[in-house]
Structure 1
Amino acid sequence: MGELVAEFEAERGRLTAVAYRMLGGRSEAEDAVQETWLRCSGALGDPAQRAKVGNLGAWLTTTCGRICLDVLRSARVRRETYPGQWLPEPLVDPYDPGPGPDGFAPDPAERAVRADQLGTALLVVLERLSPEQRIALVLHDVFAVPFDEIAGVLGGTAVAARQLASRARRAVGASDAPRHTADPAEQRRVVAAFVAATQSGELAELVRVLAPDVVLIGDGGGHFPAALRPVTGADAVGRFTLGLFGQAGRYGGRVRARPVLVDGSLGLQFETPHSSGRTLRLVTAFAVHDGRITGIFNQLNPDKLTRLPDIGAEADWPPRW
């Protein structure tokens, strides 16, 4: 069993990445990976059974994919009754502007890993797909899993799996999701301009940073007030954003913020007093395209922010780059 444990642990990081992109939540992803281990240890704990499986990585991917498919099917019912708008649980990592050139990933190997990350905007779009389409698209287009292996996850043929991925690809391409094409340097420049405009309190200055069709989505999970529907358009999003920061100031505490990486892209982590007397913790992800912000995603549901790194006593507004 010791060798099997070692083999599984070598695959754990990849399996967690697969599960997160399929499910949109770190906690759900880790639960899926743990269930994968339980099935692995039960089915392959005997060395004779393990010897029958040539490619353990493929076996684990198929098993994890089936578990995720079941979770997605049940999640559809839960999310239909979700209070307000739903956003994925963010993966938040520190942003370190040195020693790398942009603070994203100084090591080339890390850059390669981050290159396949799905930003928040695309994770939101994936929610519109059927569970089968989402599984097929993520496994094939993000992780290059062959269609015959995907067929094993979905319980169909390779042809059917290919068709599901193709339909999913068309649905994503035809969606009105905010575009996110900016490289790290552009992300930093645009997000810094957003911060400066927000700090100024000038609506016209903030609107210049926003795309005309920008969309803002907030997920309070019923714990904190958030817009029940997406806020769209530069003027409406600008007014909403300035109102949010003005509201925080009225409750007498300072806004503390710092730049972070949210699902691999530049974002912001906040803490600020709330009228309820509690501290509101907020993670904001951005979609940036052609020098402007096309999407703002505010995650303020505390149930989805249990893994946030400590913001640090030195954090302040405006955040330090």
Structure 2
Amino acid sequence: MSDHDWLAERFESDRPRLRALSYRMLGSVAEAEDAVQEAWIRLSRSRTDEVENLSGWLTTIVARVSLNMLQSRKSRPEDLMDTAQAAEPQGGESAATDPEEEALLADSVGVALLVVLDTLTPAERLAFVLHDMFAVPFDQIATIVDRSPAAARQLASRARRRVQQGAPLARTRAIGVYDENGLVLRKGRSDLANAFLAASRRGNFEALLEMLDPDIVLRSDATAAQLGMDAELRGADAVTRLFAGHAWAPLPAVVDGAAGLVWVKDDKPFLSFRFTVGDVDGRITAIAVQADLTGVDIELAL
């Protein structure tokens, strides 16, 4: 394998995370694709043999490009609804983008949250997205916004307060309260669900393995299996590989009284992941994936 081929393959492994990051920064699938493509161009023209953390380097490049685009573009509210199907380059070459994948990327964030994020300054938005959504340390954020780590922390803190103030209203508008479907808004958070979601987004295999029982079993109902979910998976390694590195954003929830996640589509619960937790070590011993939500009690954890 040539160096260029290796670099292209390495870039593709980071692409979902980079697209998710840029989309949360820009609120536009097309612009997010442009930012990721720019990162590939810079990567292909750079000497990376001395780069110790290539994923971190790419994160910095995409964040800087997205910040520049956010600062320079005129305010266009319609961008928040953008789910354009842009060509997706593979290692610098164009390839057709899966429209369903693009729709899922847009649905994973939700227009309501993007509206709240759009009230932030570009620097606040970058600090919040990088730190709170992608666990990027403030030292790294500081170099991107050209401020001290303390100042970067303050940016994220201000952004977090504004998001928290706007999130309940935004989520109520976007999701609604569907008592007849078993969906209600719930205060408080599920620490386990949030930790699982954060680790899966970052592709943190070690953190996911630590949360999962070695003999964990994932089972999907017939409807979820028809949607492409595995009917059954056994073992922490197999389950970790299923979830790690996904550019997805289901909502933390309580599903039938247990910690879990729920994917909301078209303002209604679409797919749920219910965790069974062991009494001894607190690890997840089973995950039940359900697409048939008839009679399932779901409470979103805000």
TM-score with structure 2 length normalisation? Answer: 0.49
TM-score with structure 1 length normalisation? Answer: 0.46
Q: Relative contact order, CA 8 A, sep 6+: which one is greater?
A: 1
Structure exhibiting the larger radius of gyration computed from Cα positions:
1
